[in-house]
Chains A and B, each alone.
Chain A
Amino acid sequence: MITIQVTAFRWVPPFAHGLVRDLRVRSLEEAGPQYEERLIGQDQQRSPEYRSLQPFGPVPAYVEDGLTLFESGAIVLRIAERSEALQPADPQAPARTESGYKSAATDGDAEWST
């Protein structure tokens, strides 16, 4: 049963293909659980309903059984918590994973996605 929904844009300009940050959340592919896409356009991006999921407006947003999250970093941590495939099991390793993760989360396609 699919209980996870990930929001992505229906269309972006060619230069952004492969760079929009829903790609990060598709780490779900590594972790295993099934998920469904919700594809949105600019009209939905600006809607109060979407802003209640993602206050700044970009993608991705994530919904899991009523738990809603934005920020690709927070979403990937949530997915990692659900799955050992994305997080080393040794007790020191989570600290290193979070470090590496925060270092990686500081540049890129800022206006498209977070």
Chain B
Amino acid sequence: MVDLILTTFDWVPETPRGYVRDIRVRWALEEAGLPYRVKSVPFGARDAEHFARQPFGQVPWLTDGDISIFESGAILLHLGNRSDALMPADPRSRSEAMQWLFAALNSVEMASLPWSILAFSGGTGDTPGWKRLDEFLKARLQYLEPVLAGREWLAGTFSVADILMADVLRLVDRFDGLAGHPACRDYVARATARPSFVKAHADQMAHFAAAD
């Protein structure tokens, strides 16, 4: 019996396809070899049941038996506790994976997401807001660069931290924000070359295309 159910939108516009965050959960589930089903909720009208599962009206969420959990980071921590393929078992390496998981979502994505929103919406002119965000992101990438130049994966072996960091960075790469950071770019390339990412990406694209 498949007791893992991943919920995402039934459809999204072209632009976010391939970047909707159910891809993080798909990728983790593929890496771990855990069987799962995908369910859809309307992208349009979001009902009370949706908000009961995800208080911000976003996706994804995961149900694991009678546990329901939202936030891609929390879902990956949850799955990491189920599979050594996602999080190392020894306590020291596990802590290291957890700190890099938070670093991806907090130290890096906190800078990169507002940057990406402005980059996407054409807000990149000579404005104080853009300059501030661009400097903020570049400062974070500047310190990440030697870390990624010195190791293949963040916590020794591949882990949920790499799924999140690579996914955060590939959105920056989409807007050419990694041009001056070759180690970050190489890291994204080796992470997204993994068969589990390739399958997760193809599955998300097919899922949304099927609803066109």
- Residues of A participating in the B interface, judged by any CB pair closer than 8 Å: 51, 55-58, 67, 69-75, 77-78, 92, 95-96, 98-99, 101-103, 105-107, 110-111, 114
Contact = CB atoms under 8 A, between A and B. Distances in A.
Contacts of B99: 69-71, 74-75
B103 interface: yes
A102 B73 contact: yes
Given A55-B144, A67-B95, A110-B110, A99 B69 contact: yes
Interface in B119-139: 136
Interface string B57-86: 000000000110111011001100000000
Contact of B67 (A73, A74, A92, A103): A92
Given A56-B140, A78-B95, A95-B78, A71 B107 contact: yes
**6 closest Cβ pairs, A-B complex:** A71-B102, A73-B102, A74-B99, A98-B74, A102-B71, A102-B73
Contact of A99 (B70, B91, B106, B111): B70
Contacts of A111: 136
Contacts of A103: 55-56, 71
12 contacts: A56-B107, A71-B99, A71-B103, A74-B95, A95-B74, A98-B73, A102-B74, A103-B56, A105-B105, A110-B111, A110-B136, A114-B103
B143 A55 contact: yes
B169 interface: no
Nearest to A66: B92
B73 A77 contact: no
Interface range on chain B (Cβ under 8 Å from partner): 20 to 34
A67 B99 CA distance: 12
A95 B53 CA distance: 13
B90 to A, nearest CB: 11
Contact of B106 (A69, A73, A78): A73
B98 interface: yes
A72 to B, nearest CB: 8
B5 to A, nearest CB: 14
Contact of A69 (B77, B95, B107): B95
Contact of B105 (A55, A57, A70, A106): A106
Contact of A77 (B98, B111, B143): B98
B143 A57 contact: yes
Contacts of A51: 143
A52 B36 CA distance: 39
Nearest to A101: B74
A70 B103 contact: yes
B58 to A, nearest CB: 10
A46 to B, nearest CB: 11
A74 B144 CA distance: 18
A86 to B, nearest CB: 15
A114 B107 contact: yes
B138 to A, nearest CB: 12
